[in-house]
């Protein structure tokens, strides 16, 4: 069984200065309910040679919270692009992800595009729910477990009003 233990935070855009390069992510949902999601993610990373390295994954997640079930499977990048373009629900998330080391721990910092331009979030994965984390000064508020701040919820806003 795969368990993801992760904390999520909002980031102050005036205090966060991204590294030189990040990964561009397209993310969409095949299933998006309060108790589970199935997402498709296509990630493009610029390589030092100028080429673009693409990877993709299909991820199944349980209810949001500090610890939740998560299963991730690598899929071909061209299939991910096709799923995003044809079968995913409306409301694709586009963002650039930067990995930032904070006292030996990697924070994944997402800078959003589209209707969420200006939003920046940071996530940090933990080995235990009791593990302490040193927060950088650019973190403003913890939103772990708040359903309004999940990427699935944000994708609903990308799609417009939901019935």
Distance separating alpha carbons of residues 98 and 28, to the nearest angstrom? 19
3-class state of residue 1 by DSSP: coil
Q: Is 64 exposed, middle or buried (0-12, 13-18, 19+ CB in 10 A)?
A: buried
Distance separating alpha carbons of residues 91 and 112, to the nearest angstrom? 13
Is-catalytic flag, 112?
no
- The catalytic residue among 29, 73, 98, 112 is 29
The residues assigned a catalytic role are 29
């Amino acid at each position: 069984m795969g368990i993801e233990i992760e904390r999520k935070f909002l980031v102050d855009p005036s205090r966060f200065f991204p590294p030189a390069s990040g990964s561009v992510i397209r993310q969409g949902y095949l299933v998006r309910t309060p108790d589970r999601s199935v997402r498709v993610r296509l990630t493009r990373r610029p390589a030092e040679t100028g080429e673009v390295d693409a990877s993709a994954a299909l991820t199944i997640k349980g209810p949001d919270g500090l610890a939740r079930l998560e299963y991730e499977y690598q899929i071909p990048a061209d299939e991910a692009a096709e799923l995003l373009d044809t079968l995913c629900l409306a409301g694709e998330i586009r963002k650039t992800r930067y990995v930032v080391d904070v006292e030996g721990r990697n924070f994944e910092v997402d800078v959003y595009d589209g209707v969420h331009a200006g939003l920046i979030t940071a996530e940090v994965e933990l080995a235990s729910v009791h593990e302490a984390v040193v927060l950088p000064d650019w973190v403003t508020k913890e939103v772990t477990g708040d359903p309004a701040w999940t990427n699935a919820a944000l994708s609903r806003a990308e799609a417009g009003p939901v019935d």
